[in-house]
Structure 1
Amino acid sequence: MGIFGIKRHEGAVWCVAWAHPKFGTILASSSYDGKVLIWREQHQNTTSPVAGSTWTKVFDFSLHTASVNMVSWAPHESGCLLACASSDGHVSVLEFRDNSWTHQIFHAHGMGVNSISWAPAAAPGSLISSNPAPGQQRRFVTGGSDNLLKIWDYNPESKTYNLSQTLEGHSDWVRDVAWSPSILSKSYIASASQDKTVRIWTSDASNPGQWTSQQLEFDTVLWRVSWSPSGNILAVSGGDNKVSLWKENLKGQWEKVKDIEE
């Protein structure tokens, strides 16, 4: 395997994200230059073992007027969808369908959008419910410099994303959000903030519009939160150069199970 360098942005690149393999080898990148670029790997028609492949830019999205801080691909069951969070306060959703790219862009946070994360395609409780909800949901959560989290739902009739809920609790910028991939009886969203706290928001399948949160306190600003593939362990990173792992105990409280540092 060769090493490839791709340089098409005109500023710092903040985020890169792979699409699901069912759509091919596709990579999205976002930058301080306000652009989102989508790349596809093109295999060369040759028998040479060293010829390898090339990367071709297949879409250039440049309607944002400030830094694009994060890009996130939707679960593949929902289609080839890419959500983008920008400092201009807007969110855009790019969709590849019928061999072309389309987009939606809408205002989300007044002081800028720092992070974005999709919900699982299946509704919580669908694996254990005798009457699972039909179809696949398109939902995501955003975190902003207004200290808020916002949950957005797709309306298939109007074909728009609408604000369904605002979650308050942080006292400074929300730097990252992560929706747990678990589709058991509860939904979990983790948020990391400049206020030195992580909040874990929980919603029960029996009352999906009601969210409660548990606060985890740290001694430093926090940058990133990430769930394990099973959705039961949360990794947190911050300004102290450490990663800590957290897990919910049998009493419903989140406790630290490990610190990872050099």
Structure 2
Amino acid sequence: MVSVLNSVDTCHEDMIHDAEMDYYGLRLATCSSDNSVKVFDLKNGSQSLVADLKGHGGPVWQVVRTSKIWKVIIWKELGEWTKWYEYSSHDSSVNSVAWAPHELGLILACGSSDGSISIITNNGDTWDSQKIQSAHSIGCNAVSWCPIVEPSFDAISNQRGGPVKRLATGGCDNLVKIWREDGDRWIEENKLEAHSDWVRDVAWAPAVGPPRAALASCSQDRRVVIWTSNDYSLDQIY
């Protein structure tokens, strides 16, 4: 039996599209069609508003993104919440954002209806960006970072390789794609075809134990597909 533990009156003036809690369940962020992001402290069954962030000019579909003016805003808490960085290099709706695993540093991936994917990297005082052009022909709906696995050991150099940066994306072309960083560019590592309509979301399973990759994708075709392989490139699907 399911029961309601707590309810939060956000005082948003329009529909709420996303809500995210922190690891400890003590802080909640919400976003809405009223163009705002709100942050709440949750304690002892009650909530208090910590910040009301109004940097977007259109509905906020997911925490830290907007679709009307095609920009991504990164907020930072320094006593109070302030706008840290704004990225406006997409030509259409930004539909998905995802932070990379912490082992890779402060890196954000963004998928857009213009068909491209942006990789935004923090370098201390500055932010750099890369773009995968024409990643999905009609538009990208979802991005998900591959979990970090133990780097392989090179017996010739007697050194262990660095962590691999890898992404899964889903698009309006009905495809799921796997991308890997190769030097200063991103290459398409694999293309997975099973859906007959737009792919709305993708999500990697956490890495536990021996390498065994699992990726889930969901689509407007009313199906969820789980892809599994012994390799995170998903070259061999089981």
**TM-score, structure 1 normalization:** 0.66
- In the alignment, is residue 177 of structure 1 matched against residue 202 of structure 2? yes
Q: Which of 170, 194, 200 is the aligned partner of 2:226?
A: 200
The residue aligned with 1:77 is 103
Gaps of 5+ in 1: 17-27, 44-53, 213-262
| Contact map agreement 2:151 2:163 (CA 8 A) in 1 | no
Query: What is residue 38 of structure 1 aligned with on the other side?
Result: 74
Q: Look up the SS of the partner of 1:77 in the other structure.
A: helix
8 Å Cα contact 1:30/1:70 also seen in 2? no
Aligned residue runs from structure 1 range 137-216, under 5 A = 137-156=164-183, 159-184=184-209, 185-205=211-231, 209-212=235-238
* Number of matched pairs: 185
- Identify the residue that residue 67 of structure 1 maps to in structure 2: 93
Report the CA distance between 1:133 and its aligned residue: 6.2
- Structural mapping, 1:241-260, within 5 Å: none
Work out the CA distance in 1 between the residues paired with 2:78 and 2:232: 47
The correspondence for 2:62, drawn from 2, 8, 15, is 15
Provide, for residues 103-150 of structure 1, a one-character-per-residue CA deviation record: whole Å limited to 9, x for no partner.
011221010000000001225999xxxx99632110010000000001
Quote how far apart the aligned CAs of 1:6 are: 0.6
Aligned 8 A contact 1:180 1:189 in 2 = yes
* Conserved 8 A contact 2:67-2:92: no
Distance in 1 (alpha carbons) for counterparts of 2:223 and 2:159: 35
CA contact (8 A) 1:14 1:32 kept: no
Partner Cα separation in structure 1 for residue 233 and residue 119 of structure 2 = 28
Tell me, yes or no, if the aligned pair for 1:39 and 1:57 is still in contact at 8 Å.
yes
Q: Conserved in 2, the CA contact under 8 Å of 1:123 and 1:137? A: no
Q: What per-residue deviation string (whole Å, max 9, x for no partner) do you get for residues 207-251 of structure 1?
A: 952123xxxxxxxxxxxxxxxxxxxxxxxxxxxxxxxxxxxxxxx
Q: Which residue of 1 aligns with 2:45?
A: none
2:217 maps to amino acid: S
Residues 110 and 201 of structure 1: CA distance in aligned 2, closer, same or farther (over 3 Å): same
CA contact (8 A) 1:125 1:183 kept: no
The answer to whether the Cα contact below 8 Å between 1:12 and 1:33 also exists between their aligned partners in 2 is no
1:115 paired with 2:151, answer no
**For residues 149 and 103 of structure 2, what CA distance do their matches in structure 1 show?**
9
**Normalised by the size of structure 2, how large is the TM-score?**
0.72
| Contact 1:124/1:186 (<8 A) preserved | no
Q: Which amino acid aligns with 1:29?
A: R
The 1:68–1:206 alpha-carbon spacing in structure 2 relative to 1, beyond 3 Å, is closer
2:11 aligns to what?
none
Aligned-pair identity (%): 44
Stretch deviating more after TM superposition (29-38 or 137-146): 29-38
Give the residue type in structure 2 aligned to 1:42.
Answer: L
The two structures, once aligned, show a CA RMSD in angstroms of 2.3
SS in 2 for 1:13: coil
Mean Cα displacement is larger for which, 185-194 or 30-39?
Answer: 30-39
2:118 matched to 1:96? no
Q: Distance in 1 between matches of 2:167 and 2:117?
A: 11
